[in-house]
Amino acid sequence: MGRSLFLRIVNAVETRDNFFMQRRDSVGRLSLSALQKITAIFRMLAYSLPADATDEYIKIGESTSIESLKRFCRAVVEEFAYEYLRSPNITDVARILHIGKDRGFLGMLGSLDCMHWKWKICPTAWARQYAGRSGSPTIILKAIADYDLWIWHAYFGLPGTNNDINVLEASHLFTTSLKILLLQLIMSFKENNIIWVII
């Protein structure tokens, strides 16, 4: 992650939640800064570290790490949901299709992948239902990303016994995508100065 992106996230989260602002305690010492808390969060997310493992490197306690992670996730969703956590609109679809056409992939919206993730702490009662090809419990993450690596569809949690084709058949993805594509094929005509839109 680039420095400018990291600092943009830090500033956005710090303005969204006062928990991340550096303050002085009753003795007058400075508390943890937003950089320390968010660095600990990124280490936990990127490397799957437990909350108490950040104490060695960043000098932050387990309870503070957990509270920081919860507040960080809430702040990121509140701050960036409108721009990034949404399905593509008509303008986005047109842009993606234009880029695909220029690259020789006519009509391609993005790259779809189904990944099987090993579920280490799967409840025993669910273990057989979620057993994947390897025999151990897995959860399937289905995601679609475009050329800019904008993930505009993700679903996590299907049982690992499903193969990729069954996951796609059970998905509402294609009906949603067809609605978006049909919006591009809108037929409009004028009748008494009224534009009728047929979908």
CA atoms of 143 and 155, how far apart (whole Å): 7
What pTM, to 2 d.p., does this model score?
0.64
| Token code pair at residue 127 | 């273990």
- pLDDT band, residue 183 (cuts 50/70/90): low
pLDDT confidence band for 3 (50 / 70 / 90): very high
What does the pLDDT average to over 68-74? 95
- What is the sign, positive or negative, of the torsion defined by CA atoms of 166, 167, 172, 174? negative
pLDDT at 189 exceeding the cut of 70: no
Torsion sign over Cα 8, 10, 16, 22? negative
The C-alpha atoms of residue 20 and residue 37 are separated, in whole angstroms, by: 7
Q: CB of 111 within 8 A of CB of 145?
A: yes
| Average pLDDT taken over every residue of the chain | 81
What's the confidence (pLDDT) of residue 184?
56
Q: What is the pLDDT of residue 187?
A: 44
Q: What is the pLDDT of residues 139-172, one digit of tens each?
A: 888 888 887 778 877 777 667 567 777 777 777 7
